[in-house]
Amino acid sequence: MQHRNIAFIGAGNMTKSIISGMVSSGYPSDRITASNPSRPKLDDLQQHFGINITHDNHAAVNDAEVVVLAVKPQLMEQVCQDLAKHCDLSGKLFVSIAAGIPHKRLQQMLGGEYDVVRTMPNTPSALGKGMTGLYADASLDAQDKTYAGDLMGQVGDIVWVEDEAQINGVIAAAGSSPAYFFLFLQAMQEFTMTQGFDKDTARRMVQQAMLGSAEMVCHNPDLELSELRAQVTSKGGTTAQAVEHFQKNGLDKLVAGAMAAAIARAEEMSDLF
Ligand SMILES: NC(=O)C1=CN([C@@H]2O[C@H](COP(=O)(O)OP(=O)(O)OC[C@H]3O[C@@H](n4cnc5c(N)ncnc54)[C@H](OP(=O)(O)O)[C@@H]3O)[C@@H](O)[C@H]2O)C=CC1
Ligand SMILES: O=C(O)[C@@H]1CCC=N1
């Protein structure tokens, strides 16, 4: 991929995940800058990945060809307006990772019809196992589109969406979903501890079971998920009892409700910010 000078505005969890994945995939660290108000996160990024760091958003943006907007949604307007006031933004490609802020709204915040790609990554990007949804409007130059896809492709799998509203579906399915899996594992760990296992052993067991299961899913793309489940479920056995308990207690509805809640919040945020 092209290695353009890239600046991350905001050096929080998601920036760290993306930079970590980029550097492991060979993106030159001297072409990456992170800007953040507080120091410790910047020091951490510099120590681990050898990137450039600054407290000055303007300097970071002035030196960049690509600007990743990685602050919390509620700060986005203030940060973009400040950049618009103090920097020449023409010719730069903007990549937003913020939940709930539409493409048009980002352009409005930046004060012009700049090239903007709206993305929705997730934290496993740190391990090169991310999943990112991307949206751009038809005016985006093919080279910029390729760059944005390659960039997020360095940290995992990507999917372009045609309809911007689908980005909220990506949030529910991939942006937020690592937290669902962690929550599920935590509940399993806690129950396992009630069976006389210490915390670490309980974690080791449930995490290995999850890792193995995820690998089975990925290595068997032609097998339906229901078939993989059937392979574990002996007739009259233990798994059948557990699965029946989940189903009787409305697991499908619970999951659909949680994902719909994530989407509803994303929609709400697009009115708020
Ligand atoms: N976490 C996740 O799993 C995902 C998050 N996102 C999106 O990523 C974005 C960032 O989220 P996340 O990384 O979790 O949040 P964090 O709070 O971890 O990071 C945000 C960072 O922005 C910094 N910041 C605050 N004000 C400014 C400013 N004026 N200029 C530059 N930086 C500033 C904060 O610095 P300080 O702490 O010093 O105030 C902080 O380090 C959000 O918009 C979120 O919607 C998208 C997908 C997944
Ligand atoms: O919770 C959030 O709003 C962000 C977006 C997806 C994951 N974290």
Pick the last residue of a domain from 164, 199, 221. 164
Find the ligand nearest to 59 CA: 1
Q: Atom of ligand 2 at shortest distance to CA of 123?
A: 7
Q: If we measure between CA atoms, which residue out of 43, 97, 33 comes closest to residue 65?
A: 33
Strands (E) located in 109-182:
115-120, 130-135, 156-160
Please tell me whether residue 212 adopts helix, strand or coil conformation.
helix
101: containing domain? 6-164
Does residue 124 have its Cβ closer than 6 Å to ligand 2?
A: no
Give the domain CATH number at 99: 3.40.50.720
Tell the residue number behind the tokens 């670490």, with chain if given.
200
Tell me, using a 6 A CB cutoff, whether residue 263 lines ligand 2: no
The closest residue, in CA terms, to atom 41 on ligand 1 is 12
Together in a domain, 113 and 225? no
User: Within this chain, do residues 193 and 75 fall inside the same structural domain, yes or no?
Assistant: no
Confirm whether 1 is domain-assigned: no
Model confidence, pTM: 0.95
ipTM: 0.98
How confident is the prediction along the chain (273 residues), in pLDDT tens digits per residue?
999 999 999 999 999 999 999 999 999 999 999 999 999 999 999 999 999 999 999 999 999 999 999 999 999 999 999 999 999 999 999 999 999 999 999 999 999 999 999 999 999 999 999 999 999 999 999 999 999 999 999 999 999 999 999 999 999 999 999 999 999 999 999 999 999 999 999 999 999 999 999 999 999 999 999 999 999 999 999 999 999 999 999 999 999 999 999 999 999 999 898
